[in-house]
């Protein structure tokens, strides 16, 4: 087990370096390079352009530039935003926590509703509730999240006025936890809906698969209550495959946050990334790509490790 964990972590490190290389190349594909902003400005003389290029180190060969960039990246200098001039890492420090709050809340919603829902319909197989659930989960899965988000926003915030339309805190009142929660409900639910549908479906089929096993029959034969059979004996084993799926889905929350944050004007990484695209703010774009990739690689790693920890039957070479 430990050998496997160490091996997987060692494999992830070169992968992350390759990720930085690809990110770097992508940004260097930009037509005109970092100086393209000045190129068409008649007030900037060619000499000045050349001076800027020397100053920014653009005259050096690409591999030297890459390693210089990587070196400062590893030392916590992620460059400065072209748009606001602020250090990129500081910008991320402001935005990432907000995205993590949003991701965490939708994760709790998906898990807290999805798992019990899956168990409930599995224990009521072929009932009316089961059919309604099946049907609804297909729609929840297929509905574009921005469409669902706009619908909820219009109904609950604009028409009914029960919840705030957008943002993280109200402008009129001092920030408080209650306000944050009010602002969280809609975006967190929109972000979590797809996983809620997916996980509850997996949970349902997981329970249905396990419930036919011999050890469940044994548990029933011993005279255990149905509740104990399901919640203690079946759930433990049915949860196994779900753990991997949840781990693999986790980075998806980060990607989905781009859309959810845009709809609900949530001041997180996703919106920062989108505005950096519009503003051609390459250092921020690179940081967004990198953070997304790091979350993905680490998420996959955690999913694999958790699985190997939970299922001793699996042998690793």
Residues of this chain that interact with other proteins (CB under 8 A) are: 15-16, 18-19, 22, 26, 29-30, 138-139, 141-147, 150-151, 154, 158, 194, 198, 202, 241, 244-245, 251-252, 254-256, 258-259, 262, 273-274, 277, 285, 288-289, 292-293, 295-297, 300, 304, 307, 314, 316
Q: 52 or 289, CB closer to other proteins?
A: 289
Q: What's phi and psi for 87, nearest 5 deg?
A: -60, 140
Report the distance separating Cα 262 and Cα 275, nearest Å.
Answer: 10
Q: Which residues partner with 80 through β-bridges?
A: 87
Q: 52 or 243, CB closer to other proteins?
A: 243
Q: What's phi and psi for 3, nearest 5 deg?
A: -60, -40
The SS3 call for residue 59 is: coil
Minimum Å gap between C-beta 186 and other proteins is 14
Minimum Å gap between C-beta 227 and other proteins is 28
**Other beta carbons less than 10 A from residue 41's beta carbon:** 10
Q: Which residue, 203, 200, 202, is CA-closest to 192?
A: 200
Q: 246 or 295, CB closer to other proteins?
A: 295
Q: 119 or 287, CB closer to other proteins?
A: 287
Minimum Å gap between C-beta 43 and other proteins is 25
Q: 48 or 154, CB closer to other proteins?
A: 154
Report the distance separating Cα 5 and Cα 165, nearest Å.
Answer: 45
CA distances, 71 to each of 17, 68, 81, 297, 304 (Å): 12, 5, 18, 21, 30
Minimum Å gap between C-beta 164 and other proteins is 16
């Amino acid at each position: 087990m430990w050998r496997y964990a160490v091996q997987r972590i060692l494999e992830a490190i070169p992968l992350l370096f390759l990720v930085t290389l690809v990110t770097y190349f992508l940004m260097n594909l930009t037509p005109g390079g970092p100086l393209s902003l000045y190129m068409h400005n008649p007030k900037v003389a060619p000499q000045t352009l050349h001076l800027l290029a020397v100053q920014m180190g653009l005259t050096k060969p690409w591999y030297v530039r890459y390693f210089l960039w990587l070196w400062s990246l590893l030392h916590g200098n992620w460059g400065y935003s072209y748009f606001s001039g602020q250090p990129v890492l500081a910008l991320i420090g402001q935005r990432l926590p907000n995205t993590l709050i949003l991701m965490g809340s939708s994760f709790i919603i998906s898990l807290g509703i999805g798992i019990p829902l899956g168990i409930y319909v599995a224990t009521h197989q072929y009932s009316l509730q089961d059919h309604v659930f099946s049907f609804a989960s297909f729609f929840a899965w297929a509905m574009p999240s921005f469409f669902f988000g706009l619908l909820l926003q219009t109904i609950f915030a604009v028409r009914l006025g029960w919840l705030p339309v957008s943002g993280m805190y109200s402008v009129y009142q001092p920030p408080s936890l209650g306000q944050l929660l009010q602002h969280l409900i809609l975006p967190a639910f929109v972000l979590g809906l797809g996983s809620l549908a997916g996980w509850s479906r997996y949970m349902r089929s997981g329970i249905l698969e396990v419930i036919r096993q011999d050890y469940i029959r044994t548990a029933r034969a011993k005279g255990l209550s149905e509740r104990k059979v399901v919640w203690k004996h079946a759930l433990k084993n049915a949860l196994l495959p779900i753990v991997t799926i949840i781990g693999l889905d986790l980075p998806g929350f980060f990607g989905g946050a781009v859309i959810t944050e845009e709809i609900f004007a949530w001041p997180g990484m996703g919106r920062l990334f989108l505005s950096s695209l519009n503003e051609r703010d390459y250092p921020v774009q690179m940081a967004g790509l990198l953070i997304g990739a790091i979350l993905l690689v680490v998420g996959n790693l955690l999913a694999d490790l958790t699985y190997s920890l939970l299922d001793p039957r699996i042998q690793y070479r």
